[in-house]
Structure 1
Amino acid sequence: MELRHIRYFLAVAREGNFTRAAAKIGIGQPPLSQQIRDLETEIGTPLFHRVPHGAELTEAGSAFLDIVVQFPDLAERAIRAAQRAGRGEVGSIRVGFTASAAFSPSVPRIFRDFRRAFPGVDMTLEEANSAQLVTGLKDERLDAVFLRQDVVAGDGIRLHVISAEPMVLVLPAGHPAAQGGKVALTELRDDALILTPRAVGPTHFDKVVTACRVAGFEPQLGQSAPQLGSVINFVAAELGFSLVPKPMTQLQANGVVYREIKGDVPIAELSLAYRGNDISIALRNFVSRTLAAHSDTTPSEIQK
């Protein structure tokens, strides 16, 4: 039994006449009659009484009609649902991001634009540090992540740099260097440097330490902070200074000031990472829209 048999049956049942039903659906009356006979043969009982003025449903035909009357609409709904799924307009994606990534103007805009373009896709967001995001990606608990890390260990993980932002100094408000304009890193050689542990964010840790070494001194590592937000609070407590991506200057805290760096300025890259193999259509749409909005970036596959 095929869907066309159901359509033909419904046409005859509605019209009560084979000739009118055939004209309605655009086929000849003899082929329509043959299709109905084939359907009756498959079911094993007549569905219509052939009468001089047309056709009337048998008791079996009425019972059949009660069930199959919904089939064409269900088929259309199924087709539309499949087409939407094929275009990635339904489904779900799980996206992670670091605390500093949330301050980048790119990330909230990406989330907003995707939700507007694909309202039927359930997007779940999770904030965590870089190490946790990478683990979530490799464990397939997350589908894509925004992080400030330029090396992701694991086969099949793709990484795209979507923005490059200068770092700035964050100083205690009472620090002598906080009173002027740009500050050279060498002015802070005797101050403690506040960072998150290297295991939490190795790329950020290494870039800040390298910037100090390029400036001509080995930094004195001070209190370790669990995340960049805590770094700001520790600086406010006058435990030392730090460097953060410029978008984090939106985080205003009592007792700290942000200053641009004089001389060589380290760059904090914000990247999108995801599993390159066997990704869902919804995730493929998310990745393609993100990269289209940052078309000057080049994808790279990161190996172990």
Structure 2
Amino acid sequence: MELRHLRYFLAVAEELNVTRAALRVGIAQPPLTQQIQALEAELGVALFHRIGRRIELSAAGTVFLAETRAVLDRAAQAVAMARRAGRGEIGKLRIGFTSSASFSPFVTEVLKTYRAQWPEVEVALEEHRSALLIAALKADDLDAAFVRPPLTPDAAIEVQWLVREPMVAAVPVDHSAAGRRAVRLEALRDDPFILYPRRGGSGLSDQIVSECLRLGFSPRVGQEAPELAAAINFVAAGMGIAVVPACMRHLRPDAVRFLTLERSRLRAELGLAQGRADRSETVCKLAHLAGEVLIQGHSRALRGSEYVKS
């Protein structure tokens, strides 16, 4: 039994006239009659009573009609849902992000806008280091991820670099420079620096050290922090100063002050990583939306926003 047989039966049951039913489904009357007879033979029951030239539903046909309508309605719904899923309007989107990316207004704006535009897509969020996020993408455990460099080049992964964010100095509230709005990095040369191990996937330690060397000093490492958020807490505990992305400057206002770094080349890059093959439409929509938010953010940057196009 195929769906077309149910459609033939529905037409005859609703029209109670084979000629009109044949016109409705677009086939000749004799083949339609044969299809109905074959359906009755398959079911082993009569679906219609034939009274002269008139037909009417049998008791079995009446029950079968209700079920036929339900089946065809579900089939139409399945087709509609499949097409919506193909357009990325429904489904599930698994997004990963680094701990620092969760503080980025850019990331939160992308997620907020995505949920508003496609509310029927279930968004599952997962936080990990960038290296682990890339591994999850390759294992098909994630669909996309907001990551920071360095990343090992991988032919299976494409990274759309989106923003380059200024870095700021985080100092304890009782630091001698805490009352200032800006400071030069070299002015902090005597402070112990809180840096980040390369295995943490932050990619910032080498940049910070290189910038310090460019400015004529080698930073004294007082502590390593496993994540950027932990570095802020270490600063609050008076264990040293840290250089962090500007998006984190609202953390620990009770114990930490964030100072603009004057004449600094330090930037924290943020990108959207995704697999190169078999991208779902939900992922494509996320990437396109990120680009739109980037353009809007770039326009704001011309009016003083801290985010600029990479």
Higher mean C-alpha deviation, range 63-72 or range 265-274: 63-72
8 Å CA contact 2:98, 2:127 repeated in 1: yes
**2:305 match:** none
Shift of the 175–276 alpha-carbon distance from structure 1 to 2, 3 Å rule, reads: same
Q: Residues of 2 paired with 1:141 and 1:78: CA distance?
A: 26
**1:228 match:** 228
**1:158 match:** 158
* 2:154 match: secondary structure: coil
Q: Residues of 2 paired with 1:82 and 1:202: CA distance?
A: 40
8 Å CA contact 1:13, 1:57 repeated in 2: yes
Q: Residues of 1 paired with 2:151 and 2:109: CA distance?
A: 25
* 2:112 match: secondary structure: helix
What is the CA-CA distance between 1:129 and the residue it aligns to? Answer: 2.6
Q: Residues of 2 paired with 1:64 and 1:179: CA distance?
A: 81
Higher mean C-alpha deviation, range 91-100 or range 129-138: 129-138
* 2:135 match: secondary structure: helix
**1:38 match:** 35
The correspondence of residues 69-88 of structure 1 with structure 2, limited to 5 A, is 69-88=69-88
Task: Report sequence identity in percent.
Answer: 39
**2:241 match:** 241
Write the deviation string for residues 141-198 of structure 1: whole angstroms up to 9, x where unpaired: 2221112214344221111111111111111222223333421222222211102222
**2:7 match:** 7
Q: Residues of 1 paired with 2:160 and 2:200: CA distance?
A: 20
What is the CA-CA distance between 1:66 and the residue it aligns to? Answer: 5.1
Q: Residues of 1 paired with 2:240 and 2:38: CA distance?
A: 88
8 Å CA contact 2:8, 2:36 repeated in 1: no
What is the CA-CA distance between 1:43 and the residue it aligns to? Answer: 4.5
* 1:293 match: secondary structure: helix
**1:302 match:** none
The TM-score with structure 1 as length reference comes to 0.86
* 1:99 match: secondary structure: coil
Q: Residues of 1 paired with 2:270 and 2:146: CA distance?
A: 7
Write the deviation string for residues 48-86 of structure 1: whole angstroms up to 9, x where unpaired: 343235113356645643542323212211211111111
User: Which one-letter code corresponds to 1:220 in the other structure?
Assistant: R
Q: Residues of 1 paired with 2:48 and 2:133: CA distance?
A: 65
Write the deviation string for residues 226-261 of structure 1: whole angstroms up to 9, x where unpaired: 211111111122211111111111213322211111
The correspondence of residues 127-276 of structure 1 with structure 2, limited to 5 A, is 127-276=127-276
8 Å CA contact 1:232, 1:253 repeated in 2: no
- Give the unaligned 5+ runs of structure 1: 300-304
Shift of the 20–198 alpha-carbon distance from structure 1 to 2, 3 Å rule, reads: closer
What CA RMSD, in Å, does the superposition of the two structures yield over aligned residues? 2.6
User: Which one-letter code corresponds to 1:40 in the other structure?
Assistant: Q
Q: How many residues align?
A: 296
Write the deviation string for residues 187-232 of structure 1: whole angstroms up to 9, x where unpaired: 2222111022221034212111111111111111111112111111
Shift of the 263–191 alpha-carbon distance from structure 1 to 2, 3 Å rule, reads: same
- Give the unaligned 5+ runs of structure 2: 299-307
Q: Residues of 1 paired with 2:189 and 2:26: CA distance?
A: 89
**2:56 match:** 56
